[in-house]
Structure 1
Amino acid sequence: MLVVEDLHVSYGAIAAVKGISLKVKPGEIVALVGSNGAGKSTTLRTISGLIRPKSGSVVFEGKNLVGVPGHKVVGAGITQSPEGRRIFPKMTVHENLELGAFLRNDKAEIEADLDRVLELFPRLKERISQKAGTMSGGEQQMLAVGRALMGRPHLLLLDEPSMGLAPVLVDLIFDTIRTIRDQGTTVMVVEQNALAALRIGDYAYVLETGQVKTEGLARDLLNDPEVINAYLGG
């Protein structure tokens, strides 16, 4: 489904991503874990078309997306819930969700997807007419994920979905990510919370200073002494 090969991304003279290669197969949850500054979010933003790489390829369903603008990447079947949520605070929950479907014109299917999102996140249904900026951080994170789902993606990118959330909400968000995958959407999740990501992931890549330090089945990395010591609290 997605093949990233030898990706290099720089911010001016600073190399943020140094030759990352990774794959995402249909039906998987793939986790990118690592400390702050490891290059996780930059990798995701490059896949989304928000950053143009210095070199390397991003091939999705047979098409190289390097140089393709972000809105066309969405049209190709990739949507993202960004780091920091970035919901539209002065718009209602319903308006935010509608914007997630801005490239679509299949009204009946959009309504069906809206129903699906509200079933996944009942809290959003309760607050459907509320201004998004007045909601809690956890509710805004649900909205950001729901908005991304409204694009009906083949691949859903989630950037730090647990950031700033209470533990009970972290569990809820990650349980919902599993459900999204079980309903047929492939997921790639970037997380500093390595334990939570590895618990739900099928495959995982550990990034360090812009490179893949190790990779493997997520359940195997949960028991890897080096990963445990570096990212899972020893």
Structure 2
Amino acid sequence: MLELDEIHVYYGNIAAVKGLSLTVYPGEIVTLIGSNGAGKSTTLRAISGLLPVRRGTMTFLGRQLNGVPDHEVVRRGIAHSPEGRRIFPRMTVDENLDMGAFLRKDKEAIAADREMILELFPRLRERLDQKAGTMSGGEQQMLAVGRAMMARPQLLLLDEPSMGLAPVLVDVIFETIVRIREQGTTVLLVEQNALAALDVADRAYVLESGSLKLHGPADELAEDPEIVKAYLGG
């Protein structure tokens, strides 16, 4: 579904991602793990068209993504739930969900997707008329994911969905990620909580200082002594 081939991404003259290659197949949950500054979020921003790729190629469903405007990336089937949630705080929950479907014209399908999202996140149904900025952090995270799902993506990019959440809400978010995949959406997950990410993922890529360090089946990496020591508190 998605292939990155030796991509290089810069902030000014600073290389943030250095020759990264990865592949995501349909129906997978793939996770990127690594310490702060490893290039995980930068990778998602490059895929979304928010940052330019200086060298290397990105393809999605056989079509090149390099240089594609961010709104066109969404139209092609990739949605991004960003780090920090980035919901519209002065708009209601309902209006935020509408924004996720801004490129769509299929009203009946939009209504069906809204209902699916409200079933995934029952708390949002209770708060449809509430200003999004007045909700708890966990509720805002649910809204950020739900808004991205309103685009009906084939590939969902999730950036740090558990950041700042209480443990009970972290469990809810990861259970929901599994349900999203079960409903047919492929997921590329960036997550500081490496243990939780490896528990739900099929495969994982470990980034260090912008470069790929390790990759393989998530269950095998979860038992790798080097990974356990560096990221799992072993």
Normalising TM by the smaller chain, what interval?
over 0.9
Q: Specify the code of the residue in structure 2 equivalent to 1:158.
A: L
Q: Secondary structure at the match of 2:147?
A: helix
1:180: Cα distance to partner? 0.2
1:1-234 map, 5 Å: 1-234=1-234
Measured in 1, the distance between the counterparts of 2:99 and 2:30 equals 26
Q: Specify the code of the residue in structure 1 equivalent to 2:145.
A: V
Deviations 1:59-105 (A, max 9, x none): 00000010000000000000000000000000000000010000000
Deviations 1:96-150 (A, max 9, x none): 0010000000000000000000000000001011000000000000000000000
Measured in 2, the distance between the counterparts of 1:154 and 1:56 equals 23
Deviations 1:151-208 (A, max 9, x none): 0000000000000001110010000000000000000000111111000000000000
TM-score (norm 2): 0.99
Q: Specify the code of the residue in structure 2 equivalent to 1:5.
A: D
Measured in 1, the distance between the counterparts of 2:25 and 2:2 equals 7
Aligned-residue sequence identity (percent) comes to: 69
Q: Specify the code of the residue in structure 2 equivalent to 1:166.
A: A
1:12: Cα distance to partner? 1.4
Structure 2: tracts of 5 or more residues without a match: none
Measured in 2, the distance between the counterparts of 1:159 and 1:70 equals 16
1:29: Cα distance to partner? 0.2
Measured in 1, the distance between the counterparts of 2:20 and 2:167 equals 31
Structure 1: tracts of 5 or more residues without a match: none
Q: Secondary structure at the match of 1:23?
A: strand
Q: Secondary structure at the match of 1:30?
A: strand
Structure 1 runs (4+) greater than 3 angstroms displaced: none
Measured in 2, the distance between the counterparts of 1:58 and 1:117 equals 29
How many equivalent residue pairs?
234
1:213: Cα distance to partner? 0.4
Q: Specify the code of the residue in structure 2 equivalent to 1:74.
A: V
Measured in 2, the distance between the counterparts of 1:88 and 1:13 equals 32
Q: Secondary structure at the match of 1:148?
A: helix
Measured in 2, the distance between the counterparts of 1:10 and 1:51 equals 8
Measured in 1, the distance between the counterparts of 2:71 and 2:106 equals 18
